[in-house]
Amino acid sequence: MSEKSAHLSPVELVAAMLVILLWGLNFVPMKFALLDFTPFQMGAARFLLAAFPLFLFVARPSIPMKWLLLYGFAQGLGQFSFLFFALKFGMSAALASVLMQTQVFFTALMGATLLGEPISRPLTVGMMVAAAGLACFVLNLFTDQGLGTVTELGFLLTLMAALMWSSANIIVKKMQASSEGYSALSLVAWSSLISGVGFVLISIVFDDHDAHDNWLQASATGWLSLLYLGWAASGLAYWLWTLLLTRHLASRVAPFSLGVPVVGLLAGIWVLDEQMTTMQWVGSALVMFALVVVVMGSRYSIERMTRRYTRRN
């Protein structure tokens, strides 16, 4: 077992907090960019900016091309097509940041079904609590319609985005099982290139002809939002997160991700002045509590296994 540091240094703690901030604020510039660009155009810009110039300096990951294409389709085209359209057609940035975290539970269910992975007790409890949270959102659609900022279509598209994220996680597991090793940074760079090119082709085919003028007519806010999405939220944040995971146990790093939906929720309310109903608050609280149960339960299990391994050796 390779030895990893047990504690994050002050500089690494700052890096972890920066990642939380960059990912948590991610949904606000998405909303701004959608005022100037179509969802397909925003996807093309985000992923091409994330790929350039990084893919010019890192080799293609040493995995079969089919896995690279599947990952680019699921993580990029699939997840963000659904997410961008959700934000455009009735999903608030605040609630999107929370609902996207249901990917943790979708991943567990897909892992159990497709890979035969066991479902731990913390995960079982977390899924039950998260299901209660989703029930609150569904109930809200029929009782408080018009009081919040969420529509049925926006809700469903966001869950589809989370499902595609989960599919990408399963693809990563299959990659790890079939390949000796590969650079996570090169995977991000090259899959971003594939996703970006895919979004360009889809935009050319499906976007209205008039939408092609968006590139010339977009506001400074729109362009700054794209730069943030491509270079800050994708490039810088994923690079820092990858460094932390290579230096520390996943159980030490993963709990920091719990701050992402909190930042996203507050940013949507404070920056975009989004309103939330009582049922949406309850649902958000249940989903985030479910995440705490799963992440902290997993961390405890990993640390207990590590202690046993250390005693034996």
Counting residues of the chain whose pLDDT is more than 70, the rounded percentage is 89
Four-residue CA torsion sign, 25, 30, 31, 33: positive
State yes or no: pLDDT of 136 exceeds 80. Answer: yes
Confidence of residue 1 (pLDDT cuts 50, 70, 90): very low
> Which of 31-35, 36-40, 233-237, 286-290 is least confident?
233-237
pTM across the whole model:
0.87
Beta bridge partners of 5: 248
Q: Side chain identity at 6, as an amino acid letter?
A: A
The tens digit of pLDDT for each residue in 64-118 reads 899 999 999 999 999 999 999 999 998 999 999 999 999 989 998 999 999 888 8
For residue 248, give the DSSP letter.
Answer: B
Beta bridge partners of 248: 5
Q: Side chain identity at 254, as an amino acid letter?
A: A
State yes or no: pLDDT of 199 exceeds 90. Answer: yes
The tens digit of pLDDT for each residue in 218-244 reads 999 999 999 999 999 988 888 888 788
Confidence of residue 188 (pLDDT cuts 50, 70, 90): confident
State yes or no: pLDDT of 121 exceeds 70. Answer: yes
Contact in structure between 20 and 256 (CB atoms under 8 Å): yes
The tens digit of pLDDT for each residue in 261-292 reads 999 999 999 999 998 888 999 999 999 999 88
State yes or no: pLDDT of 161 exceeds 90. Answer: yes
Q: Find how far residue 202's CA is from the centre of its chain.
A: 22
pLDDT of residue 95: 93
Beta bridge partners of 7: none
The tens digit of pLDDT for each residue in 298-307 reads 665 545 544 5
CA pair distance 230, 233, nearest whole angstrom = 6
Helices (H), the chain: 10-24, 27-33, 39-51, 65-71, 79-88, 93-99, 103-114, 121-143, 152-178, 184-206, 214-217, 220-227, 237-247, 250-253, 259-270, 278-312
State yes or no: pLDDT of 145 exceeds 60. Answer: no
